[in-house]
Structure formats: structure tokens, C-alpha cells
């Protein structure tokens, strides 16, 4: 992709992906789901997950799977509020950019 994916957009994408699973989801699956939309490495996503946890947008818990611990991430109420803000901002932003690309005037 030729466009830069900034921190806020990565946060929004990760919150959107994790919010699809009521009980949460684990890091590798988050990476795979995000990659269906944008190319990103695990080394990029894990700091995003830690930042969202620190900001209390995600809660973390471990679950035993086949004798190994797997770290799960779940969106908190604060995370859902942040995701709703990102969705509103993205809608406004994308409308303006699309208008410019079509040759119109941004509103």
C-alpha cells in the first residue's frame, strides 16, 4: 500500500478486529485478520496491542490451549467508545477524501 498507516488508524483497525469476537481473540489471529485488509507484521501489531491495553481499551487474559498459554485480547467499554469515535471520524474523513478524488470540493 502506498499510503502510510498511522498509529490512530492501526488502533482503529485492531479495535475493529478484536471487537468482532465477544470473548476476545488471540494475537496471531488478530494479525491474520488485520492482514486481510492491510499488510502489517506481527512486530508492528504487538506494540499496538500493548498500547491499547495500557490505554484501557483492551483487557488481556491467558487461556490454556493444548497445554500452552495463549494470550487473548478483549475490547473494554472504553475501547468500544474509542472505536465508535474512530468510526465517526473515518466516515467523515473518507467522504472528504473521496470527494477530492472525484474532483469535487471537500465539505
Q: Which CATH number goes with the domain that contains 71?
A: 1.10.10.10
Find cell 487473548 and name the residue.
72
Regarding pTM above 0.95, the answer is no
pLDDT at site 107: 59
Whole domain around residue 16: which residue ranges? Answer: 7-82
Examine residue 99 and state whether it is found in any structural domain, yes or no. Answer: no
What three-state secondary structure class fits 32?
Answer: helix
Query: To 10 degrees, what angle do helices 77-101 and 7-19 make?
Result: 120
Q: In this model, does residue 1 exceed pLDDT 70?
A: no
* Residue 91 belongs to some domain of the structure: no
Mean pLDDT of the chain: 92
Q: Is residue 88 part of a domain?
A: no
DSSP state of 38: S
User: Does residue 69 belong to any structural domain of this protein?
Assistant: yes
Instruction: Compute the average pLDDT of residues 53-81.
Output: 95
- Grid cell for residue 64: 490454556
Per the structure, the count of domains in the chain is: 1
Rounded to an integer, the average pLDDT of 45-73 is 94
Burial 50-86 (b: 16+ CB within 10 A, else e): eebeeeebbeeeeeeeeeeeeebbbbeeebeebbeeb
Over residues 59-65, the mean pLDDT reads 93
DSSP H/E element including 101: helix 77-101
The answer to whether residue 76 sits within a structural domain is yes
Taking Cα atoms as reference points, which of 37, 38, 41 lies closest to residue 27? 41
- Residue 96: inside a domain: no
pLDDT score recorded for residue 3 = 75
Residues 27-39 pLDDT 10s: 999 999 999 999 8
Query: How much is the pLDDT for 4?
Result: 77
Instruction: For residue 65, tell me if it sits in a domain.
Output: yes
Would the pLDDT of 58 be above 90?
A: yes
- Cell 494479525 belongs to which residue? 31
Amino acid at each position: 500500500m502506498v499510503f502510510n498507516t498511522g498509529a490512530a488508524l492501526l488502533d482503529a483497525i485492531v479495535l475493529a478486529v478484536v471487537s468482532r469476537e465477544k470473548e476476545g481473540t488471540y494475537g496471531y489471529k488478530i494479525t491474520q485478520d488485520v492482514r486481510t485488509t492491510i499488510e502489517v507484521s506481527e512486530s508492528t501489531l504487538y506494540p499496538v496491542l500493548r498500547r491499547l491495553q495500557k490505554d484501557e481499551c483492551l483487557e488481556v487474559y491467558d487461556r490454556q490451549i493444548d497445554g500452552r498459554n495463549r494470550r487473548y485480547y478483549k475490547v473494554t467499554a472504553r475501547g468500544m467508545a474509542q472505536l465508535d469515535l474512530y468510526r465517526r471520524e473515518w466516515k467523515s474523513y473518507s467522504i472528504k477524501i473521496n470527494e477530492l478524488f472525484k474532483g469535487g470540493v471537500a465539505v
